[in-house]
């Protein structure tokens, strides 16, 4: 993704209001997953169990980060409400990691320490500023939302459906959060950079969807979802997000004063 920095950010009343509203919403949702963890080992076919554990281990690794880089970027670029909302967003992702780890633990499956998709994703995110990191993060959020929905609907176990359903609902809310607040940063990009980022993001979501669909094809197949169906669902979700993320602004900053690197 592009790496672009600006020396200052002109806050608007609407963006500040959105940040405050999301901080309050995240605060109101804290602790809602207490008692959600599995109380028994799910009864799955050997094939479904093997596919589930391999797949969930990859996702668990992907959401187990500490969010330090994202939070540092937010602190440099945003107001206090947005920073606090970001802290709570990171805490929810860490809660997802704990829930997935608990599922793996029920099956006596060890956690993954490394996976190539995690390395690529982390490199793309940490090599950029707030706008770029969030755009990359959104690729994972969109893929994750569709992944958890597939597991919620496709696995024949009530306990797993509750856990994956709760995570899927969180991911949809995270998409709303980023959809409403990220544009306050993207709208300040000069038009050439704005449109380049939009095109790049559209290409990236298609690539990320295909990679995720192929990587997790075995559990998706057990849930009755083909590689094509999953990738198509991810791209459709991205199309729904795109108009909110990349709202056109008539008040764009000139290219002078922007750093691209």
Sites in the chain below the pLDDT cut of 70? 1-13, 118, 121-128, 248-261
Q: Can you give the pLDDT at residue 126?
A: 65
Is position 118 within any domain?
yes
Q: Can you give the pLDDT at residue 244?
A: 84
Is position 36 within any domain?
no
Q: Can you give the pLDDT at residue 106?
A: 95
Q: Can you give the pLDDT at residue 66?
A: 76
Is position 78 within any domain?
yes
Is position 195 within any domain?
yes
Q: Can you give the pLDDT at residue 171?
A: 95
Within the chain, strands assigned E span: 4-5, 259-260
Q: Can you give the pLDDT at residue 231?
A: 97
Q: Can you give the pLDDT at residue 250?
A: 45
Is position 61 within any domain?
yes
- What is the rounded CA–CA span in Å between residue 40 and residue 242? 40
C-alpha angle 160/40/115, rounded to 5°? Answer: 55
Summary count for the chain: helices (H), strands (E): 11, 2
Is position 70 within any domain?
yes
Q: Can you give the pLDDT at residue 230?
A: 97
Q: Can you give the pLDDT at residue 162?
A: 95
Question: What CATH code is carried by the domain that includes residue 148?
Answer: 1.20.1260.10
pTM (two decimals): 0.86
- What is the rounded CA–CA span in Å between residue 213 and residue 232? 10
Domain count, the chain: 1
Is position 12 within any domain?
no
Q: Domain limits at 222? A: 42-249
Model confidence pLDDT, tens digit, residues 126-137: 666 888 888 988
- Is-contact 6 253, C-beta < 8 A? yes
Is position 126 within any domain?
yes
């Amino acid at each position: 993704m592009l790496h672009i920095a600006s020396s200052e950010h002109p806050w608007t009343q609407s963006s500040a209001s959105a940040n405050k509203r999301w901080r309050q919403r995240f605060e109101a949702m804290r602790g809602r997953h207490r008692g959600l963890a599995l109380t028994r080992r799910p009864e799955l076919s050997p094939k479904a169990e093997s596919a589930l554990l391999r797949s969930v281990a990859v996702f668990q690794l992907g959401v187990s980060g500490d969010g330090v880089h994202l939070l540092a970027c937010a602190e440099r670029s945003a107001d206090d409400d947005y920073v606090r909302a970001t802290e709570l967003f990171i805490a929810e992702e860490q809660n997802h990691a704990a829930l997935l780890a608990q599922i793996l633990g029920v099956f006596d499956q060890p956690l993954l320490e490394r996976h190539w998709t995690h390395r690529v994703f982390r490199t793309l995110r940490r090599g950029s500023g707030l706008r770029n990191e969030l755009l990359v993060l959104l690729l994972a959020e969109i893929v994750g939302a569709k992944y958890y929905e597939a597991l919620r609907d496709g696995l024949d176990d009530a306990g797993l459906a509750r856990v994956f359903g709760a995570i899927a609902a969180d991911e949809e809310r995270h998409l709303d959060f980023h959809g409403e607040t990220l544009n306050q940063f993207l709208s300040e990009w000069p038009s050439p950079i704005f449109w380049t980022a939009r095109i790049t993001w559209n290409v990236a979501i298609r690539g990320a969807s295909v990679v995720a669909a192929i990587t997790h094809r075995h559990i998706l197949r057990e849930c009755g979802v083909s590689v094509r169906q999953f990738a198509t669902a991810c791209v459709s979700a991205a199309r729904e997000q795109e108009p909110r993320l990349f709202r056109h602004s008539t008040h764009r900053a000139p290219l002078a004063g922007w750093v691209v690197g």
